[in-house]
């Protein structure tokens, strides 16, 4: 990848970010989201699960409300107030019609022009690390649900519930992709991205012995600088953008 990443499209008002777990957006693209909400755009989050299987030392029944609280707090840091959770089970989220229907319903409700999701391919980077099946399922279902949301005949029960088709999604932006095409300057939103990820404190404290802020700052500095040589030397959040 030697070519330069293009700036993200800016002629939109509403975005919906759809991911599998609490923290997926904070590890990936909160700096971009902070900048978008600063500019007066509306961003909503949809999480397929509550991440209840994410902390080895806390059982799911106790973990789910804790992680939901952390996710709402981390969204608020970057100007996102609308955070919805589907009740798919963390770790065993299945790609299928139910997941597509749930995501299509949310797209019809929020009517975004931009949909954001996380790496839907089976590996991270250039094949160095295996992705989780939850990310693959939710990423693929999100890419598919964008078309489902626009077609009144695919899930007619949604129309019966008053959710009219929405065919206004113009782009799906995949964070964490190994084939990025576009990027957002990460500098203006960087400090809020740090605070946003830090809100997942219980998760991070269980994950690492490092001081949480040091861990978060190092992680986000590394990931945003990876794209910088392809974005005029600026730290960046990179996306693979599928146009419609
Ligand atoms: Zn995840």
Residue spans per domain, the chain: 13-243
Q: How far is the CA of 107 from the centre of ligand 1 (A)?
A: 21
C-alpha 200 chain-centroid distance: 15
Residues with CB under 5 A from ligand 1 (ion): 20-21, 24
Query: In degrees, to the nearest 5, what angle opens at C-alpha 99 toward C-alphas 98 and 105?
Result: 90
CATH 1.25.40.10 fits 13-243, yes or no: no
Q: How far is the CA of 161 from the centre of ligand 1 (A)?
A: 30
Backbone phi, psi, residue 175, to 5°: -80, 155
Interval 74-122: pLDDT, tens? 999 999 999 999 999 999 999 999 999 999 999 999 999 999 999 999 9
Percent of the chain with pLDDT over 70: 99
**C-alpha dihedral, 243 to 224 to 86 to 100, nearest 10°:** 30
Q: Name the pairing type of β-strands 42-47 and 236-243.
A: unpaired
The two structure tokens encoding residue 88: 């798919």
pLDDT at 2: 53
Q: How far is the CA of 90 from the centre of ligand 1 (A)?
A: 9
Interval 128-171: pLDDT, tens? 899 999 999 999 999 999 999 999 999 999 999 999 999 999 99
pLDDT at 131: 97
Q: What is the mean pLDDT of residues 54-64?
A: 96
Q: How far is the CA of 152 from the centre of ligand 1 (A)?
A: 31
Q: How far is the CA of 121 from the centre of ligand 1 (A)?
A: 13
């Amino acid at each position: 990848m030697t070519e330069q990443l293009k700036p993200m499209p800016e002629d939109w008002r509403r975005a919906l970010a759809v991911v599998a777990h609490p923290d997926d957006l904070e590890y990936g693209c909160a700096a971009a989201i902070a900048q978008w909400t600063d500019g007066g755009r509306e961003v909503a989050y949809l999480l397929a699960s509550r991440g209840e299987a994410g902390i080895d030392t806390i059982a799911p029944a106790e973990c789910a409300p804790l992680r939901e609280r952390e996710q709402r707090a981390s969204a608020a840091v970057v100007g996102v107030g609308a955070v919805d959770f589907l009740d798919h089970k963390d770790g065993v989220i299945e790609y299928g019609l139910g997941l597509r229907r749930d995501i299509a319903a949310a797209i019809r409700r929020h009517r975004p022009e931009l949909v954001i999701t996380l790496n839907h391919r089976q590996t991270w980077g250039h094949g160095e690390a295996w992705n989780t099946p939850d990310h693959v399922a939710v990423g693929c279902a999100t890419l598919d649900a964008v078309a489902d949301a626009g077609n009144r005949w695919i899930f007619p029960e949604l129309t019966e519930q008053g959710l009219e088709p929405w065919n206004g999604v113009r782009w799906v932006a995949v964070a964490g992709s190994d084939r990025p095409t576009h990027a957002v300057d990460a500098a203006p939103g960087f400090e809020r991205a740090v605070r946003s990820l830090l809100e997942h404190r219980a998760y991070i404290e269980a994950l690492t012995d490092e001081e949480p802020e040091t861990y978060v700052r190092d992680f986000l500095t590394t990931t945003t600088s990876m794209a910088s040589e392809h974005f005029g030397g600026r730290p960046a959040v990179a996306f693979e953008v599928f146009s419609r």
